[in-house]
């Protein structure tokens, strides 16, 4: 007995934290557990983490993004309330929650107006610039926490802060997608691609999507996509022109980058909107300015979401618009999940379970 007790005491004060220690090198470390939450904070026990391309960029390193190491990884997560700090109302121990991954100031004009992802004093994106969610416990400002509606799993809720929130923000705040419009969703098998297909179909849009193989084409059809183009066997620009009677689509949902960007512009109708949140195929491309202004295209760069977008996303999930899950992996195999995501051999989201 006397040997067991000290171990128990130690384990109560330390916790697991999945930590990036060098490019492509992640270790599961024992680190001190956080103190009780301060005023205005809650303590969360993490249950599930959704993997995103942001994780892949952080893992393999980016030339222009300065990061500190060691860094606790994980950019979006769900968990449950473990402790409530002084002055916090609306949360109780055991409540399921998700957390906003940007450390916004909460006081600048953008924050006060609910445009959280335009915060003028953001202290960093968790899991990328500052320590993220892949740890047993963490303290967060209660204003950055959203309650999870009853009946949703931790696995599904983990997709709300980034995958769902980002798409909600892109489609409805930026591109202002309307019922009955036609949208081209690039890379419809990706985590955000699957969400975009489902959200656009849910309001009655016609959805055209691109995928990289025939197996994914079958799955994208099953999600509700009206037309699926295998971009490896067909030029998607030509197929979209044919499908829309040479008119083009109202909106393009982009996140692939140089490989598809100019083709995506060619798919737009005059005055059409392109919204992009990613560039998985590279960082730079050239565009034809003549075409841009003559065709009166509107191009939106989009990053992250507002707290409202995350709450709306959770409501959509509760109403049945659930994420497509590609794989679930245990915490110790976080980097296997990243390698799978990097390979693009995925359909839907990869979730890491605690």
- Shortest distance, CB of residue 43 to Zn ion, whole angstroms? 23
Of 117 and 186, which has the nearer Cβ to Zn ion?
117
The three-point CA angle 315-317-319 to 5° equals 70
- Shortest distance, CB of residue 343 to Zn ion, whole angstroms? 37
Of 104 and 174, which has the nearer Cβ to Zn ion?
104
Q: Does an H or E element contain 29, and which?
A: strand 25-32
Q: List Cα–Cα distances, 123 to 107, 287, 320, in angstroms.
A: 13, 33, 34
- Shortest distance, CB of residue 107 to Zn ion, whole angstroms? 6
Contact criterion met (CB below 8 Å) for 18 and 73: yes
Of 144 and 274, which has the nearer Cβ to Zn ion?
144
Of 29 and 108, which has the nearer Cβ to Zn ion?
108
Of 105 and 202, which has the nearer Cβ to Zn ion?
105
Token couple for 114: 């609910």
- Crossing angle of helices 53-60 and 334-343, in 10° steps, is 100
Of 125 and 228, which has the nearer Cβ to Zn ion?
125
Contact criterion met (CB below 8 Å) for 101 and 133: yes
Tell me how far apart the alpha carbons of residues 71 and 129 are, in angstroms, rounded to a whole number. 8
- Shortest distance, CB of residue 135 to Zn ion, whole angstroms? 25
Of 143 and 247, which has the nearer Cβ to Zn ion?
143
- Shortest distance, CB of residue 106 to Zn ion, whole angstroms? 6
- Shortest distance, CB of residue 315 to Zn ion, whole angstroms? 24
Q: Does an H or E element contain 269, and which?
A: strand 268-276
Compute how many other C-beta atoms are within 10 angstroms of the C-beta atom of residue 112. Answer: 10
Tell me how far apart the alpha carbons of residues 159 and 77 are, in angstroms, rounded to a whole number. 7
- Shortest distance, CB of residue 99 to Zn ion, whole angstroms? 17
Of 104 and 244, which has the nearer Cβ to Zn ion?
104
Phi/psi for 192 (5° steps) reads -75, -30
- Shortest distance, CB of residue 281 to Zn ion, whole angstroms? 32
- Which chain residues interact with Zn ion by CB under 5 A? 104-105, 108, 111, 119
- CA 236 centroid distance within chain: 25
Of 298 and 308, which has the nearer Cβ to Zn ion?
308
- Shortest distance, CB of residue 112 to Zn ion, whole angstroms? 8
Tell me, letter by letter, the H, E, C secondary structure of 39-61. CCEEEEEEEEEECCHHHHHHHHC
Tell me how far apart the alpha carbons of residues 171 and 255 are, in angstroms, rounded to a whole number. 13
Q: What ranges in the chain are assigned the alpha helix state H?
A: 4-13, 53-60, 109-112, 154-157, 165-168, 191-202, 214-223, 236-243, 261-266, 289-294, 307-318, 334-343
């Amino acid at each position: 007995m006397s040997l067991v007790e000290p171990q128990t005491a130690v384990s109560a004060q330390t916790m697991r934290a999945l930590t990036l220690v060098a490019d492509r090198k992640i270790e599961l470390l024992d680190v001190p557990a956080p103190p009780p939450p301060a005023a205005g904070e809650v303590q969360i026990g993490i249950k599930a983490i959704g993997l995103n391309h942001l994780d892949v960029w952080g893992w393999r390193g980016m030339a222009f993004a300065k990061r500190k190491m060691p860094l606790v990884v994980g950019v979006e997560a769900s968990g449950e309330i473990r402790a409530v700090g002084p002055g916090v109302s609306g949360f109780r121990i055991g409540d399921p929650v998700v957390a906003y991954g940007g450390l916004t100031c909460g006081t600048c004009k953008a924050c006060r107006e609910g445009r959280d992802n335009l915060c003028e004093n953001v202290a960093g994106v968790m899991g990328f610039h500052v320590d993220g969610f892949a740890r047993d416990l963490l303290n967060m400002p209660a204003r950055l926490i959203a309650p999870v509606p009853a009946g949703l799993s931790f696995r599904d809720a983990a997709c709300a802060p980034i995958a769902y929130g980002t798409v909600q923000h892109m489609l409805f705040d930026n591109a202002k997608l309307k019922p009955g419009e036609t949208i081209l969703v690039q890379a419809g098998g990706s985590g955000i691609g699957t969400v975009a297909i489902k959200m656009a179909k849910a309001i009655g849009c016609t959805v055209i999507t691109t995928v990289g193989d025939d197996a994914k084409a079958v799955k994208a059809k099953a999600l509700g996509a009206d037309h699926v183009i295998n971009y490896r066997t067909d030029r998607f620009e030509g197929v979209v022109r044919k499908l829309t009677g040479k008119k083009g689509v109202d909106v393009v949902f982009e996140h692939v980058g140089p490989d598809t960007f100019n083709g995506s512009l060619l798919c737009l109708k005059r005055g059409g909107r392109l919204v992009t949140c990613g560039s998985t195929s590279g960082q730079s491309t050239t565009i034809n300015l003549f075409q841009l202004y003559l065709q009166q295209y509107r191009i939106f760069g989009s990053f992250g979401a507002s707290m409202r977008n995350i709450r709306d996303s959770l409501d959509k999930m509760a109403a049945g618009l659930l994420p497509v899950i590609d794989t679930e992996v245990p915490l110790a195999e976080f980097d296997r999940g990243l390698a799978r995501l990097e390979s693009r051999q995925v359909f839907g989201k990869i979730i890491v379970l605690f």
